[in-house]
Amino acid sequence: MQHWLVKSEPFKYSWEKFNKDGRTFWDGVRNYQARNNLRAMQEGDLVLFYHSNEGKEIVGVAKVVREAYQDPTTDDANWVVVDLSPVETLKTPVTLEQIKADPKLQDIGLVKQGRLSVMGLKREEFDYILELGSK
């Protein structure tokens, strides 16, 4: 199993809306590195959901329920989506400020590649963020 983080601006697609929907395809990715990460996702992989711009915090955990397929919002075959379903809301959101201040998380993409919308995480990083969010 691999671990991931996806970003969404809450005014465009919030964690609350995602929970109401119960499932969504993750579209709108137009960066090649992020697209390659979507292609690498496998059914059952766990994904942290991050509110970007407003909030700047990890708010929940989702899972991949369908692997990469053609993005239905474009005819361009270069772009793909995956289907995600919410798993759980973090008890306490983990803020970008906390992440940047924590020596254990200095190498994650959220710090190193702040503009990347879909990124991989090491299992230890994922588990540690979950631990921070359970307090």
Q: What is the pLDDT of residue 30?
A: 93
Give dist(CA 117, CA 125) in Å, integer. 17
Q: pLDDT value at position 47?
A: 98
Residue 71 Cα distances to 8, 80, 126, 128, angstroms: 17, 4, 27, 32
Tokens linked to 89: 């809301």
Mean pLDDT along residues 103-123: 93
So what CATH class is 3-134?
A: alpha beta
* Amino acid 114: pLDDT: 84
| Residue 28, pLDDT above cutoff 90 | no
> Over the chain, what is the mean pLDDT?
96
Which ranges of 1-135 would DSSP assign to H, the alpha helix? 15-21, 32-40, 96-101, 109-112, 123-133
Q: Pick the residue with more confidence: 22 or 112? A: 22
Residue 66 scores a pLDDT above 90: yes
Asked whether the beta carbons of 96 and 84 are under 8 A apart, the reply is: no
Q: Please enumerate in sequence order all residues whose Cβ is within 8 A of that of 100, keeping only pairs 6 or more positions apart, or say none.
A: 106, 111
For a pLDDT cut of 70, what percent of the chain falls above it?
100
Q: Is the pLDDT of residue 102 over 90?
A: yes
Q: Are 132 and 108 in contact (CB under 8 A)?
A: no
Tens-place pLDDT, residues 111-120: 999 889 999 9
